[in-house]
């Protein structure tokens, strides 16, 4: 077991530690009794345990994401399998320039699209979905993303996507959702609260506020008076149902209007 391997590792480590220290004392001709060399270094063991524990957590988190992606990809590749007869074929596209041709020639029932596409295009998934639906209005698009934020779900609905599904959804449930979408239903996991859309100017004000800019600096940057800025902030507070700039920035991040502050 993992625990047994951990104990054996500690015992072997202690043995090597004692042997190495003993060897060094002999090499340097130091007068140190072998009995004075501790078999275990408690301080080092504690630090090692913390390090191992941290590595295990990191590997577990990474592995869980990898396992999800692997299980999802394996699931959708089970073409005409007994377990998932709903899936007839699955194809992935890594070259956005081929997407229009793929839609026209293969006529996919559903396009699964992530929001984060920075590895293959400068557009995010919502922008790309909007462009695709402009050219192919009958195409069913489902946003499958880990960015499960109300503003993203609301935007997905607005542009005409058929669903917005969290990546943490179990594969079996995902297939069930896609089957419902094929029957004409809309699937948007999580509740989508009413959101009064922020204007581009209001989003810019929030971003500058999040960057630590003072009101006078923000007004100068946007070429508006401080009075006008105060009016904008009041509208932002009302839309987000907050009473301060700090609360506004925090809620804007939670809703997806602003990227997280790193």
Residue 2: pLDDT band by 50, 70, 90 thresholds? Answer: low
Reported pTM: 0.53
d(CA 233, CA 213): 14
Token pair, residue 5, equals 């391997």
d(CA 19, CA 2): 25
Is residue 140 within 8 A of residue 103, CB to CB? The reply is no
pLDDT score recorded for residue 35: 60
Closest CA to 197 of 134, 241, 143, 155: 155
> Which residues are 76's β-sheet partners?
none
Residue 134: pLDDT band by 50, 70, 90 thresholds? Answer: very high
CA distances from 30 to 20, 25, 36 (A): 14, 5, 12
Average pLDDT over residues 128-153: 88
**What is the 8-class DSSP label of residue 259?**
P
Residue 71: pLDDT band by 50, 70, 90 thresholds? Answer: very low
Token pair, residue 107, equals 């006529």
Between 160 and 256, where is the model more confident?
160
DSSP run (H or E) holding 60: helix 42-76
d(CA 261, CA 249): 10
DSSP run (H or E) holding 260: none
Burial of 37 (0-12, 13-18, 19+ CB in 10 A): middle
The distance of Cα 37 from the centroid of its chain, to the nearest Å, equals: 49
């Amino acid at each position: 077991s993992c625990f047994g391997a951990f104990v054996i590792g500690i015992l072997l480590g202690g043995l090597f530690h004692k042997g190495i220290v003993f060897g060094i004392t002999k090499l340097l001709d130091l007068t140190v009794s072998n009995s004075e060399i501790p078999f275990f270094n408690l301080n080092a063991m504690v630090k090692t345990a913390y390090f191992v524990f941290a590595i295990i957590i990191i590997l577990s988190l990474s592995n869980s994401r990898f396992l999800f992606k692997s299980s999802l990809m394996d699931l959708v590749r089970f073409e005409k399998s007994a377990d998932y007869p709903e899936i007839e074929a699955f194809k992935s596209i890594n070259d956005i320039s081929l997407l229009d041709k793929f839609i026209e020639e293969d006529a996919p029932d559903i396009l699964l699209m992530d929001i984060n596409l920075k590895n293959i295009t400068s557009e995010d998934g919502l922008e790309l979905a909007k462009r695709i639906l402009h050219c192919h209005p009958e195409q069913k698009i489902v946003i499958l993303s880990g960015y499960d934020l109300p503003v993203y779900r609301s935007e997905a609905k607005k542009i005409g996507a058929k669903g917005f599904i969290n990546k943490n959804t179990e594969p079996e449930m995902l297939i069930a959702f896609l089957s419902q979408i094929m029957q004409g239903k809309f699937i948007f996991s999580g509740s989508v609260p009413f959101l009064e859309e922020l204007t581009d100017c209001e989003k810019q004000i929030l971003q500058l506020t999040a960057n630590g800019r003072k009101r006078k600096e923000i007004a100068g940057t946007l070429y508006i008076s401080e009075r006008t800025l105060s009016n904008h902030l009041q509208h932002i507070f009302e839309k987000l149902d907050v009473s301060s700039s700090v609360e506004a920035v925090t809620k804007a991040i939670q809703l997806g209007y602003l990227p997280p502050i790193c």
